Amino acid sequence: MASAEIERLIQLLAKLPGLGPRSARRAALHMVKRKDHVMDPLARALTKAVARVTVCSACGNVDTADPCGICTDPRRDPTVLCVVEEVGDLWAMERSAVFRGRYHVLGGTLSALDGVGPDELRIPSLIDRATDPVVAEVILATNATVEGQTTAHYISDQLNDAGVTLTALAHGVPVGGELDYLDDGTLAAAMKARRMLHS
């Protein structure tokens, strides 16, 4: 039996997504065996992050500054807003390095069942930002799920006469995807949105 401190550590690790009680124990063991090289740096990094991490009041991103690094970066195009559900989606978008505008993180999707209305998400502040004359385009990049598309639909209704161009991510075959393994909905969307190669 491990000491109370280690048991507590295991309990907390087991609450992280992707870690169960067994792997939390394994991770804790790995750490106590390499205290100086693994456990101590992680403890310091976490303590630092706890002290510094904050939510950007402009876009909802998570950063150590408010407004966040993206909102204050002068090289980023202020005329385009990309609307995503969660910070993880923003990170994914940044990894693809294809978008150079700014973001708006909703913080979830509309859900009548869970009592999540527009005011529980960052939809009012999105409408404020979208009506700023600087903003020319709002890209709806919510997930291609029922909830994500419902939320996108609601936002597009709200921004109908905001004087901005509204766009959405394309549906289609994922790069590297095999037709045989794709769902019918994706195939149908890809077929409907087929591109002209030459005529």
Using CB under 8 A as the criterion, which residues of the chain lie in contact with a second copy when the complex forms? 1-6, 8-9, 12-13, 15-19, 23, 25-27, 29-33, 35, 38-43, 45-50, 52-53, 62-65, 69-70, 86-88, 91, 94-95
Cβ 180 to a second copy, closest distance in Å? 25
Cβ 93 to a second copy, closest distance in Å? 10
Pick between residue 26 and residue 153 the one whose CB is nearest to a second copy.
Answer: 26
Cβ 129 to a second copy, closest distance in Å? 21
Cβ 81 to a second copy, closest distance in Å? 17
Pick between residue 50 and residue 196 the one whose CB is nearest to a second copy.
Answer: 50
Cβ 172 to a second copy, closest distance in Å? 23
Pick between residue 80 and residue 190 the one whose CB is nearest to a second copy.
Answer: 80
What number of helices (H) and strands (E) belong to the chain?
Answer: 8, 6
For residue 180, the 8-state DSSP code is G
Main-chain dihedrals φ then ψ at residue 93, nearest 5 degrees? -65, -40
Cβ 24 to a second copy, closest distance in Å? 9
Closest to 141 measured CA to CA, from 192, 193, 106: 106
Pick between residue 30 and residue 171 the one whose CB is nearest to a second copy.
Answer: 30
Distance, CA of 125 to CA of 89 (rounded, Å): 19
Pick between residue 40 and residue 128 the one whose CB is nearest to a second copy.
Answer: 40
> Is there a cis peptide before residue 67, judged by omega within 30 degrees of 0?
yes
Count Cβ atoms below 10 Å from residue 89 Cβ, excluding itself: 19
Pick between residue 32 and residue 136 the one whose CB is nearest to a second copy.
Answer: 32
CB under 8 Å to 78, separation ≥6 — which residues? 101, 102, 134, 135
Q: Are 15 and 23 in contact (CB under 8 A)?
A: no
- 3-class DSSP assignment, residue 54: strand
First-to-last C-alpha distance (Å) of the chain: 73
